[in-house]
Structure 1
Amino acid sequence: MSPVLAAAQCAVHAGDINANVKLHSEFMQHAHEHGVHLLVFPELSLTGYEPTLAEALTQDVDSPVLLPLRQLAQETSMTTVVGLPLSMPGHEKPLIAAFILHGDGSVGVYTKQHLHPGEEQYFSAGNGGDLINIAGVPTALSVCADFSHPEHPSAAARQGARVYASSVLIGETGYPKDSALLQGYSQLHGMAVLMANHGGPTGGWAAAGRSAFWDEKGVCVASTSGVGNRLLVVSKHLHGWQGFETAVECSD
């Protein structure tokens, strides 16, 4: 089976989990129409990147707010990675988590290991997570600042990852440096890189959009053309990766 991966570049509603669940559902349905096996949303996608709201919005692994998305992931057999602040025993503050909604109905968690300067005021650092298998392709997850530490993608490559999927919030000023880092990792490690960025303002940041995918040689196969609700879909074929973007019409 050839893997089909997608970045869900969404413009989220600040602090409104219910509205964002609906938004995520629309993205998931759109992705399913394109045969996607792995759908990756940006950092803290279900709340927005809102550090001051994180404690009030924190959820457990089995949070009922995820039930509609878990059910949809199971119905479509599509592994879906969504972002929420996570409450975990032994941690005083919430963790920045990527919840992995598997096609069998189960839930896994990846927690952000490397905090951005200033985030320690609101969040605790996490412990990462295991590789996930997507259509036979070992895939590593990361959340934003994780990839700014070269040892993170290096460890993923040593563990056998062939795809490095990153949920991010990258603004206009940081985009040239950050996208160059991700492209460089794909070349250095021979590991394809998928980056899912926010598609609108969040937490006072003007997200750059331009979600992207680089193949194992560092070639940018596809990227979104800017901001807004866009789905970036890539698939691997006999002669390499191919990709395209498509707009996602979302109801208010």
Structure 2
Amino acid sequence: MTAFTVAAAQSISIAGDVRANIQRHLACMRAAAAEGVQLLVFPELSLTGYEPALAAALAIAPEDRVLAPLREMAQELRLTAVVGMPIRLAPEAGVFIAALVLGADGSLAVYTKQHLHDGEEAAFVPGQGGAALEFEGEQVALAVCADFSHASHPLAAAQAGATVYAAGVLISEGGYATDSALLRGYAAEHALLVLMANHGGPSGGWACAGRSAIWGTDGGLLAAVPGLGEALLIARRDGERWASEVVAL
């Protein structure tokens, strides 16, 4: 089995400043590529911050040129990046919370958050999910935050053949214990490698917890960022074994 390396980017977003956040994403991507990462997952709404009140004004079409620097960097580095952004699929359509998959081969795929958190319906509409990603013998299912609070979501991913469950999230200090227990449980129940990429600083009025984490297929914690701040959380598979490490940014 070929080696595979996946990482969570625990990043800090500047509220509403897409261009500044893109520059920070580019730096994270370069750092990840230097570590041999093939798939890099950012937190929920990483390019805007978790800012529901700004989402309608900031929403873009997935193919918008504003993403060109990220798409070009993904190709240059041969790295697939999953970034968080509010999108519209038509000019008058509602706003989705999206995870945009910027492929190492220049491709673009869209995952839209299926399950909204209480209150998000004021700014967003529910999405339809998206296809799993294929990497070196692994099938990676994506999730965005509240998606994983519904046990049916990781169950459907596992039943469809997923071996990795990668969630871009915003988890606060108050919700961390409950949410991390859910993710740990899914890893053990479905024999999934579970990766969680959280914000490394405050966003949208929430005191985010940081502590992005990776759990092994037995539910054991492989590694976690120790607190807030920006970092890469990397999981490497060589053969049948996973090893993890935290790299400060």
Bin for the TM-score computed over the shorter chain: over 0.9
Equivalent in the alignment of 1:129:
130
User: Quick one: which amino acid aligns to residue 213 of structure 2?
Assistant: A
1:31-59 deviation per Cα after TM superposition (whole angstroms, max 9, x unaligned): 00000010000000000000000000001
Equivalent in the alignment of 2:8:
7
TM-score for the superposition, normalised by structure 2: 0.98
Which stretches of structure 1, 4 residues or longer, exceed 6 Å deviation after superposition? none
> Does residue 223 of structure 1 match 2:224?
yes
Aligned partner of residue 54 in structure 1, secondary structure: helix
Deviation at 1:246, TM superposition (A): 1.2
- Give 1:1-150 correspondences, 5 Å limit: 1-89=2-90, 92-150=93-151
Stretch of structure 1 that moved more, 35-44 or 85-94: 85-94
User: Quick one: which amino acid aligns to residue 243 of structure 1?
Assistant: S
Structure 2 CA distance, aligned partners of 1:178 and 1:164?
A: 14
Structure 1 CA distance, aligned partners of 2:130 and 2:240?
A: 31
Structure 1 CA distance, aligned partners of 2:153 and 2:218?
A: 19
**How many residues end up aligned between the 2 structures?**
248
Structure 2 CA distance, aligned partners of 1:230 and 1:246?
A: 6
Structure 2 CA distance, aligned partners of 1:166 and 1:81?
A: 10
Equivalent in the alignment of 1:242:
243
1:59-107 deviation per Cα after TM superposition (whole angstroms, max 9, x unaligned): 1011111100101111111110001001023974200000000011111
Identity of aligned residues (%): 52
1:125-159 deviation per Cα after TM superposition (whole angstroms, max 9, x unaligned): 00000111122211000000000000000000010
Deviation at 1:239, TM superposition (A): 5.7
User: Quick one: which amino acid aligns to residue 37 of structure 2?
Assistant: V
Gaps of 5+ in 2: none
Structure 2 CA distance, aligned partners of 1:31 and 1:221?
A: 18
Equivalent in the alignment of 2:179:
178
Aligned partner of residue 24 in structure 2, secondary structure: helix
| Compared CA separation, residues 241 and 110, structure 1 to 2 (3 A) | same
Check conservation: 2:61, 2:90, Cα contact below 8 A.
no
Equivalent in the alignment of 2:193:
192
Structure 2 CA distance, aligned partners of 1:65 and 1:194?
A: 27
1:147-183 deviation per Cα after TM superposition (whole angstroms, max 9, x unaligned): 0000000000010000000000000010000000000
Structure 2 CA distance, aligned partners of 1:91 and 1:102?
A: 27
